[in-house]
Structure 1
Amino acid sequence: MSQQRQVLQQAGTVEENAVRFDVEKAEQVVQALNLDLAASVVLSHQLRKHRWSVAGPQSRELGHFLGEAAAEADRHTDALARRIHEIGGVPLSSPAAFERHSPVPFEGEDVYDVRTSLENDLEAYGDCIESVSSHIELAESLGDHATGHLLRDHLADLERRASAIDGLLAGDSLTDR
């Protein structure tokens, strides 16, 4: 590994950018996007953890669902980090920073039954939905419509997954009254 190090941009800073988005406005958007980035990383980790430990008669189907959900969270993580860079910011990148900034708390290392794991996932999705929703309004109020569009797509996927998990947790309508 090279011993020579040259910092190109310090973490926590926002610089002039190729998309010509005002630096002062970009600082606010970068701060918000870094929260959503951290939440997406925490969510992805939690979904993967649940995929690794899922057991029971539907473990194959649930494992597949959780794997797809984690991959989707990873795609959003990448998109958020790229947008932060495009508007002159530095995306969070350390596990400690993700934990510190995420509106979704780390679940911890314990293993839970499938129902509890899915309930925890639904709660995490709810936290992400609230955060992203408020950041859409922020970005668009500052004139950053590209970020607003990115976050709207992210929000639609979050809501779709939350609805699917809610359906998995629902009682059997044919037998429950």
Structure 2
Amino acid sequence: MGARQQIRQQSDTVEENPLRLDQDKAEQIIDALNTDLANAYVLYHQLHKHHWNVEGAEHLGIHEFLEEAYEDVEHAADEVAERVQALGGVPHASMTALSNAATVESEDEDVYDIRTSFENDIEMYGSIIESYREHIELAESLGDHATGEMLRQQLVELEEHVHVMDHYLKDDTLVEHS
């Protein structure tokens, strides 16, 4: 940064919000949303990796599905970050902050067959879905029904994607090699 830096708001701080949600309640929700944001970026990168590396007879359909899935995750992450800001917080943006806040772990750099990739994705989606359910309950118990509704809508998309992946793993959907 240059000599004329001016910080408008430090990370990990919560300012008053125009939504009239008490600061202590906003802090709890922001913490949960920053976890969701971090998890979204871990999922985004894993889905993108699988999109790049898928091969085989069903390559095109799976390639396109994974692109839709990671784009939906990116869109959801953007909504979550904007909600954090609306609540008076600072959304995590650095790789370090996102990595530290994430509660899910991506697979390593190796390239796996699509079945293994989908199994890994389904595992991560499952953890994120459970976290969303907890965060919906938290937001609503604190009177933030708008955040609960936003997460609920995103939960529907997460569940739809994991459902499609589960269908891909059925015996008659992917070509198997002996």
Identify the residue that residue 105 of structure 1 maps to in structure 2.
105
* Structure-1 separation of matches of 2:27 and 2:163: 33
Q: 2:107 aligns to what SS in structure 1?
A: coil
Contact preservation (8 Å) 1:54, 1:62: yes
Q: Percent identity?
A: 49
Q: 2:115 aligns to what SS in structure 1?
A: helix
Identify the residue that residue 166 of structure 1 maps to in structure 2.
166
Gaps of 5+ in 2: 174-178
Q: Which amino acid aligns with 1:163?
A: H
Q: Give the Å deviation of 1:106.
A: 2.1
Identify the residue that residue 47 of structure 1 maps to in structure 2.
47
Identify the residue that residue 26 of structure 1 maps to in structure 2.
26
Matched residues, number: 173
What does residue range 65-104 of structure 1 map to in structure 2 within 5 Å?
65-104=65-104
* Structure-2 separation of matches of 1:99 and 1:123: 18
* Structure-1 separation of matches of 2:9 and 2:108: 32
Contact preservation (8 Å) 1:103, 1:131: no
Query: RMSD in angstroms over aligned alpha carbons?
Result: 1.2
Identify the residue that residue 128 of structure 1 maps to in structure 2.
128
What does the per-residue CA deviation read over 1:2-54, in whole Å, with 9 as the maximum and x for residues that have no partner? 44111111111111011111111000000000010001111011000000111
What does the per-residue CA deviation read over 1:47-95, in whole Å, with 9 as the maximum and x for residues that have no partner? 0000011111111111100000000000000000000000000101111
* Structure-2 separation of matches of 1:49 and 1:172: 24
* Structure-2 separation of matches of 1:44 and 1:35: 14
TM-score normalised by length of structure 2? 0.94
Contact preservation (8 Å) 1:10, 1:90: yes
Q: Give the Å deviation of 1:97.
A: 1.8
Identify the residue that residue 61 of structure 2 maps to in structure 1.
61
* Structure-1 separation of matches of 2:3 and 2:168: 52
Q: Which amino acid aligns with 1:66?
A: L
TM-score normalised by length of structure 1? 0.94
Q: Which amino acid aligns with 2:165?
A: I
Gaps of 5+ in 1: none
* Structure-2 separation of matches of 1:4 and 1:17: 27
Q: Give the Å deviation of 1:108.
A: 2.1
After the TM superposition, which segments of 4 or more aligned residues of structure 1 sit over 2 Å from their partners? none
* Structure-1 separation of matches of 2:116 and 2:106: 15
Contact preservation (8 Å) 1:122, 1:162: yes
Contact preservation (8 Å) 1:30, 1:89: yes
* Structure-1 separation of matches of 2:10 and 2:34: 15
Q: Which amino acid aligns with 2:32?
A: A
> Greater shift after overlay, 2-11 or 79-88?
2-11
